[in-house]
Amino acid sequence: MATLCGWASIDERGSARGGSAGDQNGKEVKTGNWYDFGQKIVLRFKDRAKAKKAAQTMKTLCTGNYVGYDQNQRTTLYTEMQKVGWDASKLKTKCETDCSAMMSPVLRSAGISVSKDIYTGNMVAAIMGTGQFTKLTASKYTDSGDYLLTGDIMVNEGSHTIMALEDGAKAGGESSGSSSSGSSSSGASSGGALNKTPKWTGKVTADVLNVRTWAGEENAKLTSYPQIKNGAEVGVCAEVKDGDGDIWYYIQINGSKGQKYGFVHSAYIAKTSGGSAASSGGSHEKGDTVQFTGSRHYVSSDDTGAGSKATPCTAKITNKKDGTLHPYHLQGSGVYGWVNASDIK
């Protein structure tokens, strides 16, 4: 069964600009089955109540005749919705929008503020900047509507965007929030939650390290400890891979604001005691041919920067330095630099 979605399509003449205000043919803004328009990103509400409110607003706008499509007047829907307190059921003035501009008043109706001027090229950053969404990039979310949840926003950056108006057929095991981003974790309890008992102790190697609410730079910073400084000691409880395959540590912080938990990139934590860090050298040796599975390589084994983009490939170990942040130097078609031990097989 296809997943019902809503979106702004095209004007009554099949053009992007210059049509009459309002939906002239019932198809300028519309509901319809999920379809593939090249989407590579899904933005998911962390709050299910807000997700359902936004989806209801989208459905109301798409099934009425007050909203048409015109890129020249794309923000007039925002203006008219603002006049009626973001309540779509009260909209009685004909106005216009386009696919991305439509998302702003829809989100406003759910209490989430984004600029009326967003477009498909910047909307992902703008919406993620609210701290109320998780970015999903795994193929099961982008290649069909089966795993979508009500309110999920699909985006092909620079091109088009639509919203899911119902749960997909296989969405029963999905959840809101960052834990459903397609990332994998090591260190979960039997109940599925991450362990809160540190396995080992590490210290911060970056000058200042951001602490986030889940694995991935797109997620919001922790309110209590948004950043921790160089040399700070933390307890490492678990490992979680983000959507790009990078390893993040689930850490325990003990400070002036009490004991808290958050996520930091593994590249900026060096083991000081206890078990093994993800970046410690393993059984592979110089000269071995291995599979590189990561997405970053670094200019040195102790590089504390963000590294450069790399792609999975077969590679040769050309050097090894145990006990460093990135203990293996690889050379292959998609990688040439120092990498984390966890990124090779």
Residue 291 reports pLDDT greater than 60: yes
Q: Give the three-class secondary structure for 242.
A: coil
Lowest mean pLDDT of 160-164, 230-234, 272-276, 322-326, name the range.
272-276
Report strand pairing: 133-136 vs 95-97: unpaired
pLDDT of residue 197: 86
The number of angstroms, rounded, from the C-alpha of 283 to the middle of its chain's C-alpha atoms is 34
Give the residue from 203, 184, 188 showing the smallest Cα distance to 243: 184
Can you say whether residue 76 is alpha, beta or left, with left for phi > 0 and alpha for psi between -120 and 50 degrees? Answer: alpha
Q: What is the pLDDT of residue 342?
A: 75
Choose from 104-118, 191-205, 239-253, 261-275 the range with maximum mean pLDDT: 104-118
Mean pLDDT for 247-276 is 83
Pick the closest to residue 18 from 73, 67, 80, 62 (CA basis): 73
User: How many CA atoms lie less than 13 Å away from 322 in the CB half-sphere?
Assistant: 6
